[in-house]
A and B are shown apart, each in its own frame.
Chain A
Amino acid sequence: SAVISQKPSRDICQRGTSLTIQCQVDSQVTMMFWYRQQPGQSLTLIATANQGSEATYESGFVIDKFPISRPNLTFSTLTVSNLSPEDSSIYLCSVADLYEQYFGPGTRLTVT
């Protein structure tokens, strides 16, 4: 199984600013994903981070709000831009190896 780390583990940000979340995997993976999990809720896929090309976004998520970088097969970043209180959530990085999918510990974002 892959070991995934995320930075920061939590942050409190002001409205209108941005937060960049880093995801590091201990092995090369083809498929990397970013999810959002609002308190007490299920997981919602934001986008699939593709190495060497633009990310693929799910309905309701746009690149201007959630820009993603994937410079290599072990690293990705998600930026949450122009923060509002509605962005307060847990953001999870995930990787997949064939069928099995693994998650990082998450980044808890609070917007004030």
Chain B
Amino acid sequence: QQQVKQSPQSLIVQKGGIPIINCAYENTAFDYFPWYQQFPGKGPALLIAIRPDVSEKKEGRFTISFNKSAKQFSLHIMDSQPGDSATYFCAASRSGGFKTIFGAGTRLFVKA
């Protein structure tokens, strides 16, 4: 019940394409859903996050879609660029306790 399932494991898109990464969770007590971007040799960086009271959040080219009833959320990257090539992790946590559970990660490669 503590797992966050992430798919796909890897993804290759052409420049300008819209990669979509999906995550699903079981624990309805989770109330914060961040996405992290990690480049090789670097720590994960917070990219965008959403709370379950909204269904969508946009920040620049990054959009999170959230479906509370299905317990699923996804990351869309608009007009993807080669510089977006990285590993993306979805995560979920509960307020107060703050034990973040991470998905397995998606390795994205954007072809020039």
Contact = CB atoms under 8 A, between A and B. Distances in A.
B99 A100 contact: no
Given A43-B89, A43-B102, A106 B43 contact: yes
Contacts of B46: 1, 100-102
Interface in B86-112: 89, 93, 95, 98-100, 102-105
Interface residues of A, number: 19
Given A42-B104, A45-B99, A99 B93 contact: yes
Interface string A78-99: 0000000000000010101001
A99 B95 contact: yes
B88 to A, nearest CB: 11
A42 B105 contact: yes
- Give the interface centre of B93, B102, B103 by most chain A CB atoms within 10 Å: B102
What DSSP secondary structure best describes chain A's contact surface?
strand
What DSSP secondary structure best describes chain B's contact surface?
loop
Contacts of B44: 43, 92, 103
Instruction: Give the bracket for the number of chain B residues in contact with chain A.
Output: 20 to 34
B34 interface: yes
Interface string B67-103: 0000000000000000000000100010100111011
B43 A105 contact: yes
Contacts of B93: 99, 101
B62 interface: no
Interface of B: 32, 34, 36, 41-46, 49, 89, 93, 95, 98-100, 102-105
